């Protein structure tokens, strides 16, 4: 488990092994969420990165004809 320290300017450094594992880039935006005393940093991804992620999905039976 990687650890980091909060600087006097309230900054944290994401350890190198975590940055590489998540393919984080310098200047990339992060969404900060707190829940139950835990801070989550969620990397924002550009919309273009989702292109094709549903390719090959079976779209039959997603909803009934009467719901359309």
- The one-digit pLDDT tens for each residue of the chain (68 residues) are 889 999 999 999 999 999 999 989 999 999 999 999 999 999 987 777 778 877 888 777 777 666 55
Residue 13 lies in a domain: no
The domain tally of the chain equals 1
What is the predicted pLDDT for the residue at 48?
78
Helix (H, G, I), strand (E, B) or coil at 56: coil
Residue 3 lies in a domain: no
Residue 38 lies in a domain: yes
Residue 28 lies in a domain: yes
pTM of the model: 0.60
Residue 42 lies in a domain: yes
Residue 58 lies in a domain: no
Exposure string for 21-46, b = 16+ CB within 10 A, e = fewer: eeeeeeeeeeeeeeeeeeeeeeeeee
Residue range of the domain that includes 35: 20-46
What is the predicted pLDDT for the residue at 7?
96
Residue 4 lies in a domain: no
DSSP bridge pairs for 39? 34
What is the predicted pLDDT for the residue at 53?
77
């Amino acid at each position: 488990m990687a650890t980091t320290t909060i600087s006097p300017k309230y900054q944290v450094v994401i350890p190198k092994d975590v940055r590489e594992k998540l393919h984080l880039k310098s200047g990339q935006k992060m969404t900060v969420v707190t829940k139950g005393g835990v801070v989550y940093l969620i990397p924002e991804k550009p919309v273009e990165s989702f292109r094709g992620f549903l390719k090959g999905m079976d779209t039959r039976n997603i909803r009934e004809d009467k719901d359309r």
